[in-house]
Amino acid sequence: MDANKKLEEKHFIEDTGLFFEQLGLPRMAGRILGVLLISDPPAQSIPDLALTLQASKSAISTMTRLLVEVGLIERAPSPIPRRVYYRFKSGGWVLYMRQWLALMSALHEITERGLTLMAEKPAELKERLLEAHDLFSLLEAKMPTILETLEQSHSTKEHSFVNGEQ
């Protein structure tokens, strides 16, 4: 592999780590996900991940458990006895977004309670809650359809990027 491509892969992995850190997850979890999104072969062992990321096996092990819990990766069949392999989970993004939507739904319920508490207050005092309420209402109304459409399109055809669309 040429040096430029290797550097681009490192940047991709680090950018994925930084993005997930902004979401409140450990950067290492994002870095592992970055590797698993572009690795060939798709399944990587804990020692493989540790070597690629220059991290300890215990850090990799802890973060892979976290990524399994949130549904983004899964254990993969191992060609080597007693060695654990992980890969990106098919449908992982949709599952992750469904979990996020459940959190937004809970926050929507909280804003509704806040609006009930503020029922007798002037409109300008309710504006903060109304903005959140309207956003969460829209997400709850539209996001399930978007996720279902995505699941159906992935089960019936090639991915759009593969077909030259972006």
* 11 in the same domain as 72: yes
Query: Which of 67, 88, 109 delimits the end of a domain?
Result: 88
Same domain, 146 and 114: yes
Q: Collect all residues with Cβ–Cβ distance below 8 Å to 65 and sequence separation of at least 6.
A: none
pLDDT tens-digit map of 104-147: 999 999 999 999 999 999 999 999 999 999 999 999 999 999 99
Length of the chain: 166
**pLDDT, tens only, 39-48:** 999 999 999 9
159 in helix, strand or coil?
A: coil
Q: Quick one: which H or E segment has residue 86?
A: strand 85-88
Judge contact between 51 and 35, C-beta under 8 A.
no
Q: Based on the fold, state whether residues 50 and 18 are members of the same structural domain.
A: yes
Is the same domain home to 83 and 100?
no
Q: Give the global pTM.
A: 0.80
Task: Return phi, psi of residue 45, to 5°.
Answer: -85, 165
